Structure 1
């Protein structure tokens, strides 16, 4: 009988801890994974009662899901366009906040892109080039813009292989499904990619529209205190330091 009472007490305490948590469901553009994992870890150390649940994917697909009523609380996009549309159509309730500006880079295990720069994509050793799907991923759109700026797109289009999001494009390149990739600088600077070597070339920002990235509290998160706290935390000095480490800027 005594053991049963102890078990019941432990069960109640566990449930109390669960009920006492403030859960926020946050959807995040795939380019942010390395930086966001670090930010969430530190945030939850400082806010142990908040349970920030993160899902990563393409901004365009998250936009479609949110517009169709998906119960997410907070959205970190790889651009400003998708969150702005959600604000205009009343699926978002906060202002659209620009939290970072991203960069794209050429990365390869097969050759060193620093030598030929953009022309590395034309190297005879390169048979497949990975980018994110430009229809749903802003980083894929910027990759196409850069190739067109340097008048390379028509030559390279037959070699392009598309990841569902920028993280998948990085996986294609890292694991050999593609010989080279136009990737998020944040992925290139991630610990996993650094282990493969730091042979990368940052594509000049003049070749594409600025990768301004925005976040917004969604209608489902209107009364969610944890979502609001995390939305504010992304502007903190600590979050900005982590974003800078992974190749983002704020201006």
Structure 2
């Protein structure tokens, strides 16, 4: 019990230091596009609680790795796949190998006007292809977007990849794939559950969460770079606190064991 009190007190003291610290400029944060709606809400709460601000750029994790390797001034990187964090740490541009902050999920999504029937085993998608009525289907580019890589893996596991590949439209990242899948420019797509659950998309589209056992886990890890200043460190800590955990859960993310337990 004494150990738990010490951890809680330490976090409280640290957050207090964040509130009283000064920053001449908001730090630049790189974040995977699948967490945009959740992270925007966390950042807003962070500013409300501390008075500090962060600037967030969203994109594909693979592209951010290349930018950080070439000196991009990001102070904190929230990746959609932990392998990218490990790569950067081996290159010596991060202060550690970071920590898990969320576990991602895939969703099958389609505009409300689409003929695609949604189900977690993609029976409806297969039926549409057999009928010859699937024209365009969106996923993120599997070459550099983790959610695209997992979508490809899921389609392969269900025996649909070869059949569907000619109809695929690739988004540069999963956020762009979601725009393709939900805007009506395609008949649907496999996207991040966190994006499909956002109010902006729920108003125009249907979705169903896909089983996590059909692909390798989407372990989302974050890390401070060697450029990190005090505000970035504060935000990194804040992302592991209760308010941030609640927001990530609200957007369909699973929590790593150490965060789910409230450590």
Same fold (TM over 0.5): yes
The residue aligned with 1:235 is 240
Q: How far did 1:120 drift?
A: 2.5
> Where do residues 153-172 of structure 1 align in structure 2 (5 Å cutoff)?
153-172=161-180
Question: Deviation per CA, 1:44-89, whole angstroms, max 9, x where unpaired?
Answer: 00111x2200000000000000011111100000010001111111
The residue aligned with 2:18 is none
The residue aligned with 1:36 is 39
8 Å Cα contact 1:126-1:180 kept in structure 2 = no
The whole-number CA distance in structure 1 between the counterparts of 2:117 and 2:208 is 6
Question: Deviation per CA, 1:168-202, whole angstroms, max 9, x where unpaired?
Answer: 001112222211110000010001111114x2221
The whole-number CA distance in structure 2 between the counterparts of 1:162 and 1:190 is 21
> Where do residues 142-221 of structure 1 align in structure 2 (5 Å cutoff)?
142-197=150-205, 199-221=206-228
The whole-number CA distance in structure 2 between the counterparts of 1:75 and 1:118 is 33
SS in 2 for 1:219: coil
The whole-number CA distance in structure 2 between the counterparts of 1:116 and 1:215 is 29
Correspondent of 1:88 among 87, 90, 106: 90
What's the TM-score, normalizing by structure 2? 0.83
CA RMSD in angstroms, aligned pairs only: 1.5
8 Å Cα contact 1:79-1:213 kept in structure 2 = yes
> Where do residues 14-53 of structure 1 align in structure 2 (5 Å cutoff)?
21-48=24-51, 50-53=52-55
Structure 2 unmatched ranges of 5 or more = 1-21, 257-263
The question of 1:68 aligning with 2:70 is answered yes
8 Å Cα contact 2:105-2:193 kept in structure 1 = yes
Question: Deviation per CA, 1:192-236, whole angstroms, max 9, x where unpaired?
Answer: 111114x22211111100000000001111xx0000011111111
8 Å Cα contact 1:21-1:51 kept in structure 2 = no
Alpha carbons of structure 1 residues 116 and 126: separation in structure 2 relative to 1, 3 Å: farther
Structure 1 unmatched ranges of 5 or more = 1-18
Runs of 4+ in 1 over 6 A off after TM superposition: none
